[in-house]
Amino acid sequence: MHIKVASYNIHKAVGLDRRRDPDRILAVLREIDADVIALQEADLRFGDRASVLPRQAIDDHSPWKAVPLRMRPDSIGWHGNALLVRREIEVIHAEPVPLPTLEPRGAVCAELSIAGKRLLVVGMHLDLSGLRRRHQLRAVLNHIANCGRTAPAVLMGDFNQWSHARGAMREVDNGWHLLTPGNSFPTRQPVAALDRIVVSSEWQCLRKGVHHSPLAARASDHLPVFAELITA
């Protein structure tokens, strides 16, 4: 299996010009052209937590579909986390993953089938608190272990982790590999690799990086990260 994955904190589709522009976010995603995408801050924080990327816009102007979580009528995710996959990818199962936190944080998990081959994908947005981040990543890994995972897995999102090896990253141990595509925050002058990708041992990483483009430079306060993976 050969796929390209990406993670993008879209900052509620508000760019550096302070304009909310969902079409601009979709244009950046089309530049990246990934098969599976994890989004963070993809909904409005209050009220019905409606998606900032209208489902109709995704359907009409992109090659992806939102992984259905059916949490709220106008939302495509949970606590701002959403997954987009190419339309030909089959969604076997999808669910939210509750995380230990005082803030409205969470993760979303989906089992997918690509040309008959299965994989597990988790998108997440971890806490600003270092101790809670570690507990949250442990909760995600425990959730996957309790599911009896047999398929290759990809975990990605805004880890809010400045250190490459300390804090929550200590939870990434046997059977998992941390990919740090590069500095992705803040957009104007990236100095922190907050956005990470973690893969199970079945994957080989062919390429990873931060997506730089004039459009991405103003669409959000984070730059998107990506990885091209193949099963070993």
pLDDT for position 38:
98
Mean pLDDT of 6-21: 96
Average pLDDT over the chain, rounded to an integer: 90
- Dihedral sign (CA 72, 141, 155, 44): positive
Query: What's the predicted TM-score (pTM) here?
Result: 0.93
Looking at residue 90, its amino acid is: E
Mean pLDDT of 36-54: 84
pLDDT for position 2:
96
pLDDT for position 72:
66
Mean pLDDT of 221-232: 95
DSSP state string for 87-101: TTSEEEEEEEEE---
Domain 2-231 has CATH 3.20.20.70: no
Q: Where are the domains of the chain?
A: 2-231
CB-based contacts of 216, cutoff 8 Å, min separation 6: 28, 31, 187, 223, 224
pLDDT at 3 over 90: yes
Q: What percent of the chain has pLDDT over 70?
A: 90
pLDDT at 95 over 60: yes
> Cβ distance 36 to 27 under 8 Å?
no
pLDDT in tens, 110-120: 999 999 999 99
